[in-house]
Amino acid sequence: MSPDDPAHPVVEVGPPAHGGHCVARLDGRVVFVRHAAPGERVRLAVTERRATFWRADAVEVLSPSPDRVPSVWPESGPGGVGGGELAHLALPAQREWKRRVLADTLRRIGGEAIADDVAALAGEDDAVPPVEPVGQDEARGGLRTRTRIDLTVTEDGRAGMYRQRSHEVLPIEHMPLAHEAIDDLGLLGERSPWRHRWRPGARVEAIAPSAGEPLVLVDGEPPARKRSRSALPRRNVREIVDSAVGRLTYRVSGSGFWQVHRDAPHVLVDLVLAAAGDLDGARVVELYSGSGLLTLPLVRAVGHAGTVVSLEGDAAAVRDARRNLHDHPTALLRHGRVDPAAVREVGETVAGARTGSAGPDVVVLDPPRAGAGADVVTAMCDLRPGRVVLVACDPAALARDLAAAREHGYVLESLRPLDLFPHTHHIEAVAALVPVGHDAASRTILTSR
């Protein structure tokens, strides 16, 4: 490339933004630049031109950031597959990137009041608390964390993934973020023995459960075997979670939702329980409960005198949850869409579980990436729980849900941002909210009993 190549302009890279890119300016226009670091001077390949902004990849680094490292997954670099947007940065720099994005998103979308609430929790001069690494990620370089990966088979029968922001499938040779048990399956590469077991376009899910053998599903089914005299093909896996309330065992559908990071299940269980406070005898509503990862420890924590009413939209997940909690009669596991009417209904169910009392002591919610949304948050606040624990996997959705809760009288008591997706831009957070004027010294549950 010549130094003044107009097809590959040079920019100074600005701050990171939500979505895994940095913001730069070119002739007054905003350009979202991937594969760069704040403060770098880079040459661009423009990948998308819109009226109000462009997208581009940094294809040559003219002045590298001190945070830049050789990518741990070059196939996710410029022009490559999605899912490793920060793989060219040292892990502490990735977490600082995420902290800046979280701070910016909370202020921009949540508003000044939310940003101020969060800054008050962060202390000193920080806008948000630091993003915490989990498990052995520091020692492992953030690699081999994912117990679930999704692949798509290319036209010539190789395992691939989608090119960034595209429907084109690119074959991949390596997936260093996948658990070593998935790596050992040998799914990737031209010489993979699996190539005769799937067809072009098939979706391949590889699962490395915490107990037992890994599982591969092709279009949701166990792949065809030459000889099938062995036991019935498996579609489920067993997961074991060692948590603060002891060992928890689950059976989960292979293609159902389960936390992806190998340490996420126990980290989230422990953080949610800690944020929920003393649950002994409590009435708990849980929204978006999946196959019961959080329901089981909540049921244990409330004990025989308490109740947990959960609501989940996926029928297979509810079936799994019912199996996982079959010997816990204090759990009422509802199947249905989480919407304002359903929230009111589960609120009434949990209130009816004890005569003469009002709403739930605690609401726990772990919505999908889009968040719960203002209507659901409003309905939840109207139940007047003593405490809310919100697990969020998207900062913009977190900002919206916190703003809606604040409008209805609930303020942040704690916020724990977590790095459950190293080498990607994703941020997880566990937030505890309490009613405005809540006295931290008095136990939440006592106020509503």
Ligand X SMILES: C[S@@+](CC[C@H](N)C(=O)[O-])C[C@H]1O[C@@H](n2cnc3c(N)ncnc32)[C@H](O)[C@@H]1O
- The answer to whether the CB of 276 falls within 8 A of the CB of 364 is yes
Specify the residue, 22 or 272, whose C-beta has the smaller distance to ligand X.
272
Specify the residue, 94 or 259, whose C-beta has the smaller distance to ligand X.
259
Of positions 31, 217, 333, 338, contacts ligand X by CB under 6 A: 338
Which of these segments, 106-114, 178-186, 256-264, 429-437, binds ligand X (CB under 6 A)? 256-264
210: tokens are 């915490």
Determine how β-strand 307-312 pairs with β-strand 331-335.
parallel
Regarding 263 and contact with ligand X (CB under 6 A), the answer is: no
Specify the residue, 142 or 290, whose C-beta has the smaller distance to ligand X.
290
Which of these segments, 57-65, 188-196, 253-261, 299-307, binds ligand X (CB under 6 A)? 253-261
User: What is the DSSP-derived secondary structure letter of residue 163?
Assistant: B
400: tokens are 């919206």
Binding residues for ligand X restricted to 360-419, rule: CB under 6 A: 366, 368
Flag whether 259 is marked binding.
yes
User: Side chain identity at 370, as an amino acid letter?
Assistant: A
Q: Which of 404, 397, 449 is nearest to 426 (CA)?
A: 397
Nearest-approach distance from CB 308 to ligand X, in angstroms: 13
Specify the residue, 312 or 361, whose C-beta has the smaller distance to ligand X.
312
Regarding 313 and contact with ligand X (CB under 6 A), the answer is: yes
Q: 289 by DSSP, 3-state: which?
A: coil
Of positions 160, 290, 306, 417, contacts ligand X by CB under 6 A: 290
- The answer to whether the CB of 21 falls within 8 A of the CB of 33 is yes
Mark residue 277 as left, alpha or beta (left: phi above 0; alpha: psi -120 to 50; beta: remaining). left
Q: Is 22 a catalytic residue?
A: no
Regarding 293 and contact with ligand X (CB under 6 A), the answer is: yes
Regarding 259 and contact with ligand X (CB under 6 A), the answer is: yes
Which of these segments, 64-72, 254-262, 319-327, 409-417, binds ligand X (CB under 6 A)? 254-262
Nearest-approach distance from CB 92 to ligand X, in angstroms: 27
Nearest-approach distance from CB 177 to ligand X, in angstroms: 19
Nearest-approach distance from CB 310 to ligand X, in angstroms: 9
Residue 80's alpha-carbon distances to 53, 76, 162, 267, 322, in angstroms, are 21, 5, 8, 32, 41
Regarding 249 and contact with ligand X (CB under 6 A), the answer is: no
Regarding 257 and contact with ligand X (CB under 6 A), the answer is: yes
Cα 122–Cα 269–Cα 354 angle in degrees, nearest 5? 105
- The answer to whether the CB of 414 falls within 8 A of the CB of 444 is no
Of positions 85, 117, 312, 428, contacts ligand X by CB under 6 A: 312
- The answer to whether the CB of 75 falls within 8 A of the CB of 81 is yes
Nearest-approach distance from CB 289 to ligand X, in angstroms: 6
Regarding 314 and contact with ligand X (CB under 6 A), the answer is: yes
Inter-residue long-range contacts of 435-443, CB under 8 Å, 24+ positions, other chains counted = 435/384, 435/386, 435/409, 435/410, 435/411, 436/409, 436/410, 436/411, 438/386, 438/411, 438/413, 440/413, 443/277, 443/278
Cα 422 to Cα 133: distance, rounded to the nearest angstrom:
8
The H or E element spanning position 147 is none
SS3 content of the chain, % helix, strand, coil (to 5): 25, 30, 45
Of positions 49, 50, 196, 337, contacts ligand X by CB under 6 A: 337
Nearest-approach distance from CB 221 to ligand X, in angstroms: 20
Flag whether 288 is marked binding.
yes
* Number of residues near ligand X (by CB under 6 A): 16
Flag whether 410 is marked binding.
no
Q: Which of 406, 414, 410, 415 is nearest to 437 (CA)?
A: 410
Selecting among 178, 393, 432, 445, the annotated active-site residue is 393
Of positions 97, 194, 250, 288, contacts ligand X by CB under 6 A: 288
42: tokens are 């880079």
Nearest-approach distance from CB 336 to ligand X, in angstroms: 7
| Residues at the contact surface with ligand X, assessed by CB under 6 A | 257-259, 288-290, 293-294, 312-314, 317, 337-338, 366, 368
Binding site as annotated, residues for S-adenosyl-L-methionine: 259, 288, 312, 366
Which residues does the annotation mark as catalytic?
A: 393
